[in-house]
Amino acid sequence: MKSYNCRIIDHDINIDGLLDKEEWKQGEAVKLTETVTGERSRLDTEVKVLCSNSYLYFSFNCSDDYVKASMTNYNDKLYEEDVVEVFIDDNSDLKTYVEIEVNPLNAVLHYFINNNLAGKVYGFGRIDQKVISAVTIDEKTKKWCTEIAVPLSEFVTAKNNPPLPGDRWLINFYRIDRGMDGKDEYSSWGNTGKINFHMPEKFGELVFS
């Protein structure tokens, strides 16, 4: 099982989509790979995670030569276009987890998932929009970046909240890119072996430190 070392910081981050902050220099960087084979993705995606006493923070740095995004509403079906995703299982039961998605237009999807591990996945949309996010797009470097802040109050089954050093949750990071030529790319941190992100047995550990 993969492991991510999540640093606990002593203050909150101003979310504006810019990843050159001093805080992100403290974050461990991981690269996503093609989710079926584990081979290098055509498009690079770098992910970092940090935690404060109030929020769990994510940054995605995505190279992209063609951005496909039109959805702007909360809980639109963002996974039908370009999107980054994070699944968080705060009590490591594999069956219940939070799903967060953000697209290049800064639209957010926030689901609570029940997964019976036998092929049935039930998604329940969060009514109140609590996730804070921001996106920047750089046409010159062909990149789009997002910062995401998920309130720790959304994690109702965690053993400790805020998490303590040494606590371990389960997590996975994903990206879907819809290519100009119709060739889609599915990338992940914990590779799933198939085009299906709802495989909690492939999650890695989020270790707080």
What pLDDT digit, counting tens, does each position of 53-79 carry?
Answer: 999 999 999 999 999 999 999 999 999
Mean pLDDT of 10-14: 97
pLDDT in tens, 109-128: 999 999 999 999 999 999 99
Percent of the chain, pLDDT > 90?
97
Sketch the domain layout of the chain as residue ranges.
Answer: 3-20+27-208
Please, what CATH class does the domain formed by 3-20+27-208 belong to? Answer: mainly beta
The rounded mean pLDDT for the chain is: 97
pLDDT in tens, 131-167: 999 999 999 999 999 999 999 999 999 999 999 999 9
- Distance, in Å, from the CA atom of 130 to the CA atom of 28, rounded to the nearest integer, reads 25
Enter the pTM of the model: 0.97
